[in-house]
Amino acid sequence: MPYGKAKDYFLKPLVADYEELLGRFQQTESVRFEEFTAIWRNMGFSSVFYGSLAGNEMREFCHRTLTMAFNYFLPPYSFQIRVGGLYLLYGLYHTQLASPKEKIRIALKDWEQIQKFYQDSVNSQHYDAVYIIRKLIAENAVLYTAMPQMLLFRVKMKSQHHKVCEEFRDRPERVKDLISTDMLQEVANIQGHYERLKASVLERSSITVTQQDLPARLHSCVLEFLHWQDRHENHGDADHLVDAEEKAQQVESSNRAQLLASIKTKSYGHLTEASKSRRHRQVEMDMSISGTGYIKEAPKYHKSKAPSLRARTYKNLGGEVGDEQKTKYWLLSAAEEDKTALKRPKRKHSFRW
């Protein structure tokens, strides 16, 4: 099978291998490059490029492997999966068999997400990921482009949609990002300043507008929400399956009801009016017989044929058509008393050789 026709055939197995590798890396609960390389060597992932492909086919295959692996380096995946996607790109780039090496395409729309990931890695002191990013850039392994895929003139290319793996998706942490440690410290400072101003203006005032322990209450609410999210995360898949099954049953019952309604509408709808030239063939519905549709065919009318000129002549002369005397034209020249003339002579057989 040529590679041009079989390149889509290799897509699903390659994605399955990527997810298997990243799934094992996720179980380690670490972002160290040492953990990733151990899994890489255990799976023998460098052998993904071994095969009978050569020339342009090998270059195209290397391009597709890097493009598919780059999807795991972008949101909505979690930080650990994105780090694994970065290590995957680094390993695929240095083990590819194309010469010169195929570069990693980074589109303009994705560059902001990569810069944010780099800054988060620096702030979290994940220096393994920081080193890999700097090394790829220093080795000129990145190709900065305007579009994620190459655009060709008058060539229709099938767009590829990456299916997000739900196990690797990053859970929403809007509450944790909103109520951070810096924000709680700022709230505590503002509340302390408010209390000092109130004490300086009204020495003996019992008015209380704000709560005394507001930062502590906010912190406890955030912790309670995170614990609740962790408890319900494991049950999310089962609930999702139950909801999907219920929705499927509702859709199936709705489609069945619509189908039955359409059949009844077609069966008991108004009869189509026949054309003027065919109204004598139109059937009529007689509903008075046992409550069921009794089809009664309209009587057929045959047009009477006009009598011929000969019949009209005999009728006008007072004779009947049945009394017409049959004249034997071959007896006009024969004598009436000649009895032998009444018989037609037999035709002799022709001579045969």
Q: How many CB atoms lie within 10 A of CB 90?
A: 22
pLDDT of residue 233: 62
Query: Which is more confidently placed, 351 or 23?
Result: 23
pLDDT digits (tens, 9 = 90+) for 311-323: 888 788 776 545 4
Mean pLDDT of the 285-295 span: 46
Place of tokens 């906010």: 218
| Average pLDDT over every residue of 334-342 | 54
Amino acid identity of 73?
F
- Note the pLDDT of residue 72: 94
**169, 165, 148, 161: which is closest to 16 by C-alpha?**
165
Look at residue 281 and tell me whether its pLDDT is greater than 90.
no
- The whole-number pLDDT of residue 220 equals 82
- DSSP letter for each residue of 241-295: HHHHHHHHHHHHHHHHHHHHHHHHHHHSSPPPPPPGGGGGG-EEEETTSTTS-EE
The model's confidence at residue 73, banded by pLDDT at 50, 70 and 90, is: very high
State the Cα–Cα distance between residues 298 and 191, nearest whole angstrom. 97
CA atoms within 13 A on the CB side of 208: 5
**Mean pLDDT, residues 129-158:** 86
**Of 184-198, 206-220, 240-254, 266-280, where does the model show the most confidence?**
184-198
More confident residue, 5 or 148: 148
pLDDT > 90? residue 353: no
Most confident of 5-19, 59-73, 238-252: 59-73
Distances in Å between the Cα of 349 and the Cα atoms of 282, 307, 352 are 61, 43, 9
Q: How high is the pLDDT of residue 294? A: 46
Mean pLDDT of the region 168-196: 76
pLDDT at 33 > cutoff 90 = yes
pTM equals 0.53
At 38 the pLDDT is 96
Q: Mean pLDDT, the chain, as a whole number? A: 75
- pLDDT for position 238: 47
Tokens 């489609």 label which residue? Answer: 255
Q: Which residue has the higher pLDDT, 247 or 300?
A: 247
Overall average pLDDT of the 281-291 stretch: 47
Per-residue pLDDT tens for 210-259? 777 778 888 888 778 777 777 766 555 445 555 556 666 666 667 777 77
Percent of the chain clearing pLDDT 90 (strictly above): 28
* pLDDT recorded at residue 298: 53
Q: How confident is the model at residue 337 (pLDDT cuts 50, 70, 90)?
A: low
**Pairing mode, strands 294-297 and 283-286:** antiparallel
For every residue of 156-185, DSSP letters joined together read: ------PPPPGGGBPPP-HHHHHS-HHHHH
- 3-class DSSP state of 313: helix
Per residue in 80-96, pLDDT (tens digit) is 999 999 999 999 999 99
Q: Is the CB of residue 207 less than 8 Å from the CB of residue 269?
A: no
At residue 201 the predicted structure's pLDDT band, cuts being 50, 70 and 90, is: confident
Note the pLDDT of residue 160: 66
Assess whether pLDDT exceeds 50 at residue 6. Answer: no
CA dist., res. 167 & res. 353, Å (int): 104
DSSP 182-229: HHHHHHHHHHHHHHHHHHHH-TT-----S-TTHHHHHHHHHHHHHHHH
